[in-house]
Amino acid sequence: MIEGEMLPVHNGSTTTKTGTVIKKFLKSKGADKRQLAGTWVKKAEKMVWFRNYSKLAKIGHLQQECAMLLH
């Protein structure tokens, strides 16, 4: 659910990648207190950070390639 609904609309800002935001999102989708506790949210938070970092790394790599082609 996080990967399918939350990440596609993620704006890339660091304020929207915290466990608090993930918990609010999951709570709005009907998650109970047991599901919001412990490592479950931490795993989701790591996934959000990893996905965003991967996108930024790809963008940076493409920018470097374009810069080399232009010079």
Q: What is the pLDDT of residues 10-60, one digit of tens each?
A: 555 545 556 677 777 777 777 777 777 766 667 766 666 666 666 666 666
Residues sharing a CB contact under 8 Å with residue 42, sequence separation 6 or more, in sequence order = 19
Residues sharing a CB contact under 8 Å with residue 29, sequence separation 6 or more, in sequence order = 1, 5
Q: Is the pLDDT of residue 1 over 50?
A: no
pLDDT at 17: 57
| The model's pTM | 0.37
Tokens 């920018």, residue located? 63
